[in-house]
Amino acid sequence: MINRYKKGYTAERELLHKLYGMGYVVIRAPHSGSSSLPSPDIIAAKNGKILVIECKSRNGAFTIHKDQLNELREWEMRGGAKAYVGWKIARKGWIFLHLDDVMINSGNIGKKFAEEKGISIEELVA
Amino acid sequence: MINRYKKGYTAERELLHKLYGMGYVVIRAPHSGSSSLPSPDIIAAKNGKILVIECKSRNGAFTIHKDQLNELREWEMRGGAKAYVGWKIARKGWIFLHLDDVMINSGNIGKKFAEEKGISIEELVA
């Protein structure tokens, strides 16, 4: 678990710096159970456009829990953000799935789904 | 120092929940030297309006360091946010000073300045 945490942390930092390099201001949200308020992993903003991203660094398929999806939705509904799940795939890089698609798929994310619905970081920031 | 930290933490949490109650999504940014990227204490968003707030909980006058002011400015310039210094004054509550005013005053904040330039939380979210 420590390795998975460390791998995820490193991937998130890399994504933060990449978005910063693309002109965004960025923040990595704390997840240490500090509050009951909805919290994605990353918040980024550029000229009033807000992105919130839940990050996963996994080799195989995974599921985002419904509570987590609802927290992302709250950032869209209240904040006016666009919410994504960001998946760092080893040797392939990041792909991003919009919350609507992830919700329709009941939070399940695998390679086929990612190929169909995923967008690159260039498309994310466009 | 531990007491000051704890007091500041409690005040920030209170402000977070207050903004959340006013329809914002909110996040308390980590300050544990986790990155070199600009980071205010609180980021809040509602319908695409972004507020970033540097929080202070002090009884007397204080100065915000120039580096910190520049980080707030970056959230305005890049992110399209509105940046404020939030001052929690004992037995009086929160007042907010816009970054422009704080910069013109070289980062110095005291009671007279706060009375002249400060706005309430209701004015902040209006």
Q: Give residue-wise pLDDT tens across range B39-60.
A: 899 999 999 999 999 999 988 9
- Give tens-digit pLDDT for A95-107: 999 999 999 999 9
Residue B33 pLDDT level (bands cut at 50, 70, 90): low
Contact B45 A75 (CB under 8 A): yes
Sort out which chain A residues have CB atoms less than 8 A from B23's CB and list them: 78
Residue A43 vs residues A28, A46, A53, A104, A117: alpha-carbon distances, Å: 7, 11, 7, 23, 21
For the cut 80, the answer to whether the pLDDT of residue B118 exceeds it is: yes
| Predicted pLDDT of residue A35 | 60
| Predicted pLDDT of residue A83 | 98
- Give tens-digit pLDDT for A2-50: 577 777 888 899 999 999 999 999 999 876 555 678 889 999 999 999 9
* Contact between B44 and B83 (Cβ < 8 Å): no
User: Using the 8-state DSSP alphabet, how is residue B36 labeled?
Assistant: S
B48 touches chain A (CB under 8 A): yes
Sort out which chain A residues have CB atoms less than 8 A from B49's CB and list them: 80
Q: Which residues, listed in sequence order, are joined to residue A94 by a DSSP beta bridge?
A: A88
Nearest CB to B75 within list A17, A25, A37: A25
Residue A92 vs residues A50, A52, A88, A115: alpha-carbon distances, Å: 25, 22, 8, 12
Nearest CB to A35 within list B13, B39, B50: B13
For the cut 70, the answer to whether the pLDDT of residue B35 exceeds it is: no
CA distance A46 to A27: 12
- Give tens-digit pLDDT for B1-32: 557 777 788 889 999 999 999 999 999 987 65
Residues of B tagged active-site:
32
A8 touches chain B (CB under 8 A): no
| Predicted pLDDT of residue B32 | 54
CA distance A92 to B30: 29
